Amino acid sequence: MIKPEPTLERLSVAKSLLLTPFGLDDSHLFRTLAEIKAYKVDEADLYFQYTRSESWGLEEGIVKTGAFSIDQGVGVRAVMGEKTAFAYSDDISEASLLDAARTVRSISTIAQSGQARIATKIIASSRSLYQEMDPIASLDSNAKVALLGKVEQLARAKDPRVIQVMAGLAAEYDVVLLACADGTLAADIRPLVRLSVTVIAEQKGRRESGSFGGGGRFGFAYFDDAMLGHYVDRAVNEALTNLEARAAPAGEMTVVLGPGWPGILLHEAVGHGLEADFNRKGSSAFSGRVGQRVAAKGVTVLDDGTLAYRRGSINIDDEGNTSSCNVLIEDGILQGYLTDTMNARLMGLQPTGNGRRESYAHVPLPRMTNTYMLGGDTPPEEIVASIKKGLYATNFGGGQVDITSGKFVFSTSQAYWVENGKIQYPVKGATLVGSGPECLKHISMIGNDMKQDSGVGTCGKEGQSVPVGVGQPTLRIEGLTVGGTGAIQSE
């Protein structure tokens, strides 16, 4: 059996959802773009989107919430220099397209002579990083409710101290169609699922929580019994560990970060600072530093939108550029920035496939996809054993960063106090305070256990949220400031 070429198949599905029902075809799209290009603009695009999403929530032993929604619309954008004009509508029609075109082309009052002509250029990449499936349909409603019920049973059976279980299941079927003034016509079909588990445990009147979850660009079949057991084990173990936790010590000290999700610190403290818009404006701590040493030797950081089935992966970005694997820092030397089309043009760079937007109602921005640090050659046990006195942080909650200075604050959700290479006791309330650029320079040991997170990341920027991935190996960092309320105690 001969399979259709993936790009053409995606285009066919996208057109059947976003053009055909509204009496539109390619000619209408490029007629609209020609209306915009008749004026002096550098870039213009039409971004159509159809999104179907569903979520279920369990609490107190029953599924209390369920939601289903469908959203569709089109965003019309024109760019001249660094100015952007943007209009969007949930009414997909020729009249709406032309009305939006007339609105956004007002960014330039200089009409070009003659009629703008646009030749179609289909993005020809046959890349297919995930199945073109509707994950919502991969499991019926009764089975979804039963799955959440199983999570509840597993968690309560794990330990009698578990007194409350909350679980959430979510799925999204996202279809995008993009037409650009350079003739590009591209589409992507993006499935996304996620399962989250939170438990509350009680002991002698003290209550603590633990959470875990995961997902990616696939169907619900991913959440088999083994995966459910893994998620529940991680959530329950975190809650029980926190029941024994003492107040975290404070001060400047050695900190070891565990693999996987602790890469969120790398994402926030370093990744955002390498996005092109901040660097073009000179507001990032990394501005103008390509080719310079910005991290310790051995530190290599990538942003890779091409990893199969990963939450942050995309076949194309939201401007029609093919996603790519970008080396940001190599052996400590800054190699480049993450760009969208506009910032790449203004900086004299090539687009890196990182122009992303939350929806058709938003403009694209340079954003991360899956950002991670490559592993080294040191066993993680050796790194922990090397700590004389310090903190070993294995899981994180929230955090924030100041892009201009690179300063960050992060809270740990699971951490341990270590002395003479031995874990002494768990601690709670620890916050890590530091500077992203300085933090990179003080990495002294890199583990051989690089791991991606389990698929839970959502990144916010300028009011827009997009799914992302993070990852790293076990890392030893010198001289980080730890905020806490406890004194250092030895067993």
DSSP, residue by residue, 401-453: E-TTT-EEEEEEEEEEEEETTEEEEEEES-EEEEEHHHHHHTEEEEBS--EE-
Three-state SS across 100-154? HHHHHHHHCCCECCCCCCCCCEECCCCCCCCCCCCHHHHCCHHHHHHHHHHHHHH
Within 8 A by CB and 6+ apart from 388, the residues are 254, 419, 420, 421
Tokens of 184: 């590009």
Distance CA 313, CA 305 (A): 4
At 134, which amino acid appears? D
- Whether the CB-CB separation of 356 and 317 falls below 8 Å is answered with yes
Per-residue pLDDT of the chain (491 residues; tens, 9 = 90+): 344 567 889 999 999 999 999 999 999 999 999 999 888 899 999 999 999 999 999 999 999 999 999 999 999 999 999 999 999 999 999 999 999 998 898 776 654 544 555 555 555 456 899 999 999 999 999 999 999 999 999 999 999 999 999 999 999 999 999 999 998 999 999 999 999 999 999 999 999 999 999 999 999 999 999 999 999 999 999 999 999 999 999 999 999 999 999 999 889 888 999 999 999 999 999 999 999 999 999 999 999 999 999 999 999 999 999 999 999 999 999 999 999 999 999 999 999 999 999 999 999 999 999 999 999 999 999 999 999 999 999 999 877 888 878 888 989 999 999 999 999 999 999 999 999 889 999 999 999 999 999 999 999 999 999 999 999 999 999 999 999 765 444 44
Buried b / exposed e along 336-364 (16+ C-beta atoms within 10 A): bbbbbbbbbbbeebebbbbbbbbbbbbbb
Strand 389-401 and strand 251-257: the pairing is parallel
Distance CA 222, CA 378 (A): 32
Q: What distances in angstroms separate CA 43 from CA 36, 85, 320, one per listed residue?
A: 9, 11, 12
DSSP, residue by residue, 267-334: IIIIIGGGBHHHHHTT-STTTT-TTSB-S-TT--EEEETTSTT-TT--SB-TTSPBP-EEEEEETTEE
SS3 assignment, position 157:
helix
Look at the chain and count its residues. Answer: 491
